[in-house]
Amino acid sequence: MKYSTFTRNLENYKWYKPILVMILTWILTMFFEVVLIAICSIGYALQNGEAFSFLSMLSAGYDGFDVYSSFGAIAVLGNVVCMIPALMLASKIVKNRPFSTYVSVSGKFRKDVFLKGLGISMVTLGIPDIIYFIVSNDGTGTIRFTVLGFVICTILGPLQCIAEEFIFRGLIQQTVGAWFGISIIAIIAQTIAFGMGHPYNDIGVISVIVTGMVLGFAAEYTGGLEVSMAFHIVNNMISFYCTGFGFGKVSADVDILSLILGMIAELLFVAGIIFFKKKKILLPE
């Protein structure tokens, strides 16, 4: 069963309901984010005596990215995590469909598929990425993590990745797929949205577009979000941990070498999920 198009056959499906879900999800996310940022700003001000530098960090983009301190991790990662409860509430209010149908065509989270996806992602992307961070280290070795920041990043980092998968590969890809009944159109649509949501330089945008296509394919090919979630988590958490422990920094400027190496890793990832699915190892019978 195709992941992108199967929702059109659900009992309560109406073509306009996903639009209402999108609007409500956006409104609820904005509300949750405002509350979250307000709380973090007050907490930061009480801890440091002022809140302006904290608010400046939030508006500085990737070059001002902070997932290393407690309030920074909560605000930066929590902003994205807010999309999960927002989507859950929006789907319930609109009575669109069970939230579990965003996860997979089976209507449930397939833990074994996720764990196998983590393994494939670590081998094809995670380990090479760690090596690259170490080899290309800027030499500063400055540890950015606070103890609490590390703990919060470890909790919220994976949830941030999962939230993006629900929105881009879940809500957007399935909505467009149900409308047109053509998977490739759905994958391209979510890829464009995914690219627009990441403010990198030109090379970085190309990198995000390639990643969006790979993740969209993974969701379609495996019939769910588990493998794309696994890849996304490995990709982001390796970056968070390596930069947090002083091996480089997060930046909106992506160079051509990073683009090429990333594309090679993603091609290996795709080859891996195709191989293990054909061998009937990745997916349950």
Q: What is the mean pLDDT of each run of 10 residues along the chain (285 residues)?
A: 90 93 97 91 78 66 81 92 97 93 95 97 96 78 90 97 98 96 96 90 93 98 98 96 87 87 96 95 82
Task: Supply the pLDDT for residue 140.
Answer: 63
Q: Residue for token digits 């001002």?
A: 64
Task: Supply the pLDDT for residue 250.
Answer: 78
Identify the bridge partners of residue 104 per DSSP, sorted by sequence position.
224
Task: Name the DSSP letter for residue 246.
Answer: T
Task: Supply the pLDDT for residue 272.
Answer: 97
The percent helix, strand, coil of the chain (3-state, each to 5) is: 75, 0, 25
Per-residue tokens: 51? 């809140």
Task: Supply the pLDDT for residue 54.
Answer: 66
Task: Supply the pLDDT for residue 85.
Answer: 97
Contact 64, 57 (CB under 8 A): yes
Q: Does residue 104 sit in helix, strand or coil? A: strand
**pTM for the whole thing?**
0.94
Length of the chain: 285
Task: Supply the pLDDT for residue 255.
Answer: 87
